[in-house]
């Protein structure tokens, strides 16, 4: 491959350029929620790391739901911790996300 540069050649300006730039950061445009946006996605935060941490750091209950973290017979072998949510209609669990949260 040969690349020739002509730094002294001058060209007429192209005028106004219009366009759209879209950058897919962290797979955010793939049609779903990218897991790296979720703080404590494995429910393994502990006070050993920071005194204010607990297994539900980054999560909150909605609509009076009862939320707890269990260990042991987890649905996924590589993640032994999981959330158990007991809720009536309108209740659930919310991930706050990092920083400003998930929009």
Question: Given its phi and psi angles, is residue 72 left (phi above 0), alpha (psi -120 to 50 degrees) or beta?
Answer: left
Q: What is the DSSP letter of 92?
A: E
How confident is the model at residue 78, as a pLDDT? 82
Residue 96 has what pLDDT? 86
CA–CA dist 57, 90 (Å, integer): 22
Is residue 30 within 8 A of residue 50, CB to CB? The reply is no
Judge if pTM exceeds 0.75.
no
In a 13 Å sphere around the CA of 97, the CA atoms on its Cβ side amount to 9
How much is the pLDDT for 92? 92
The predicted structure's pLDDT at residue 27: 53
Across 19-28, 32-41, 55-64, the highest mean pLDDT is recorded for 55-64
């Amino acid at each position: 491959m040969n690349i020739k540069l002509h730094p002294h050649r001058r060209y007429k300006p192209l005028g106004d350029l219009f366009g759209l730039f879209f950058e897919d950061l962290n797979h955010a445009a793939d049609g779903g929620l990218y897991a790296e946006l979720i703080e404590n996605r494995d429910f393994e935060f502990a006070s050993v790391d920071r005194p204010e941490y607990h297994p539900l750091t980054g999560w909150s209950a909605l609509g009076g739901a009862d939320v707890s973290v269990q260990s042991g017979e987890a649905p996924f072998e590589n993640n032994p911790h999981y959330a158990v949510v007991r809720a009536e209609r309108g209740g659930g669990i919310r991930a706050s996300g990092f920083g400003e949260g998930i929009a």
